[in-house]
Each structure stands twice: as structure tokens, then as C-alpha cells.
Amino acid sequence: MTIETQDPIFDTVCGVISRIAKVPPETVRADAPVSGLQNVDSIVLLEIIVTVENELDIEIDEAELFEIDTVGEFVAACRRLVAAP
């Protein structure tokens, strides 16, 4: 089951998290702490980041990654990079 919003970047990020962490998409919320997501350890988180970067054709700066606490912040970082020229 896929939960779709009017935000394709949010949908992509949440879809990747859901698929890789093997959690229902409706459990992935913008206010959820990235490090506290069910089934997500450092290896799984790295896989999520690389998959999102590949699907959105972006590259998130390593320093920026350390500033991200929530799924919403991750989505916002992706959104900025997608919109960048």
C-alpha cells in the first residue's frame, strides 16, 4: 500500500524509507526522527540516503546530512537540491 500526497519529493523519500526499512508507509511521518525510525540502523540509513539520491538525481552534502534530525528535514534538504539549478 502506498500513501501519496501532493508532494512528489515527500512521496519519494517516504516510499524509499518504507521499502528499505520494511515499514508501512503511513508510519513514516515528517516529524519522525530519522535515527528513531523502526528497523533503521546506520547501515539501513546509508542505504536510504543513497537510494533517495539516486531516485531524485541529487547529492546531499555530507555536512548537511549531520544537521538532519527528522524525516521532514530530510525531505526539505532533498527539495532544495531538486530545485537548485
Does residue 48 or residue 34 have the better pLDDT?
48
3-state helix, strand, coil in the chain (%, to 5): 60, 0, 35
- The answer to whether residue 85 scores a pLDDT higher than 90 is no
HSE, side-chain direction, 13 A CA sphere, residue 80:
9
On average, the pLDDT of the chain sits at: 91
DSSP-derived letter for residue 22 is T
Residues above pLDDT 90, as percent of the chain? 78
| Entry pTM | 0.88
What is the per-residue pLDDT for 3? 53
Whole-angstrom Cα distance, residue 6 to residue 41? 29
Question: What confidence tens digit (pLDDT) does each residue in 1-14 have?
Answer: 445 568 999 999 99
Domains and CATH numbers, the chain: 8-83 (1.10.1200.10)
DSSP-derived letter for residue 29 is -
